[in-house]
Homo-oligomer: A and B are copies of this chain.
Amino acid sequence: MEFHLLHRDITSQARRGRLITRHGSVETPVFMPVGTQATVKSLSPDELVSLDAEIILGNTYHLFLRPGAERIGRLGGLHRFMNWTRSILTDSGGFQVFSLARINRIQEDGVVFQSHIDGSRHLIRPETAMQVQAQLGSDIAMSFDECTPYPVDHRYALESMQRTVRWAGRCRDSVPPGPQAVFGIVQGSVYPDLRRACLEELQEIGFDGYALGSLSVGEPKEMMQEVLEGTLPRMPAERPRYLMGVGTPEDLVEGVNLGVDMFDCVMPTRNARNGMLFTTWGSIQIKNSRFADDPDPIEPGCPCYTCQRFSRAYLRHLFISKELLAYRLNTIHNLSHYLRIMEEMRRAIEANGFQEWRRQFHAKRV
């Protein structure tokens, strides 16, 4: 994998870059739609291409449990399995093990957990996580980390961060030679000193990119901001920077402003399935009765497939009637909204106008 830093905005820390993987190029800053179970829920691969998604995220934890990574490997890898020809980043399974599964034991060797699907017991070691991601054949693999909950005291955060660093070393050592890139994950909870220390140790190991984990997990916004401001400037400029699991449109803009290159979040897709739709002035609940007779699209002027063809009245009807098409049309709109924000930011950075663009972005919100 290559990463080219193309331009830095002179009005902010925002960066314009390009990732190049075996499966194509990815313009950054980029938002990666989440395809948990080998599908971005409700969408076909062609629809993702129509939305100009250049990279999606797959969840190692889910695919490990079902249908199984060995099976996907035998069937030619995740790209072929789900018929997605562009880039894929897989997470390491760490976050889901800590958020979805029932943890039995965190030990130096790895994590013993029970499947959220059938209660079966599994041990995931750092080496397992890398082997599974190799079987999936993703373009970018993530190292296996302990996701620190919020809040934890400094002592536990330190202990956890140090284990994550030791695991990161084992991940790096166990990656088979090949084209798969590996990113390290900076932990350290809300403590800037721990984040910095973690970053330094990960850089000594050496990764193709660096991610920030366990943010937007319940801490106040200012704390996330403080961690970002304290850590991002110290990250190596020539490597991509990935803020994991974040966030709202505002979070994306603030992250880019501080120099983040990559994001992922279930928010646009999950909220779409719950009827919450994003617009430039905020969000709407499509089930609201005031839309029952509304012939307008979700957002007038929006170029997405949904807005070009369907009224709020129709989308409300589909949602109220629990029609399958509702989830898809809502998902298309929300992802289109997210990806267009990213596209606008990329253009603003190229024109050295990011700060002005950011001001207008916030001014439009009501």
Q: Which residues of A contact B (CB under 8 A)?
A: 37-39, 41-45, 66-67, 71, 74-76, 81-83, 292-293, 295, 309-311, 313-314, 316-318, 320-321, 323-325, 327-329
Q: Given the complex, which residues of B lie within 8 Å of A82, measured CB to CB?
A: 314
User: Nearest 6 pairs between A and B by C-beta?
Assistant: A42-B324, A67-B317, A83-B309, A39-B325, A37-B321, A39-B323
Interchain CB contact under 8 A, A320 and B66: yes
Residue of B with least CB distance to A74? B293
Residue of B with least CB distance to A70? B293
Q: Given the complex, which residues of B lie within 8 Å of A323, measured CB to CB?
A: 37, 39, 41
Known: A83-B309, A83-B310, A292-B67. A38 touches B324 (CB 8 A): no
Residue of B with least CB distance to A309? B83
Q: How near does chain B come to A323, taking the closest CB pair, in angstroms?
A: 5
Interchain CB contact under 8 A, B314 and A71: no
Residue of B with least CB distance to A311? B75
Interchain CB contact under 8 A, B314 and A38: yes
Q: How near does chain B come to A327, taking the closest CB pair, in angstroms?
A: 6
In the complex the two chains form, what is the Cα distance from A316 to B68 in whole Å?
A: 13
Q: How near does chain B come to A354, taking the closest CB pair, in angstroms?
A: 36
Q: Given the complex, which residues of B lie within 8 Å of A44, measured CB to CB?
A: 325, 328-329
Residue of B with least CB distance to A325? B39
| A324 partner, pick from B45, B318, B327, beta carbons under 8 A | B327
Residue of B with least CB distance to A41? B324
Interchain CB contact under 8 A, B324 and A71: no
| A81 partner, pick from B81, B83, B313, beta carbons under 8 A | B313
10 new A-B contacts, CB < 8 A, other than A37-B317, A66-B321, are A39-B325, A42-B325, A66-B320, A67-B292, A67-B316, A67-B317, A67-B320, A81-B311, A83-B310, A324-B327
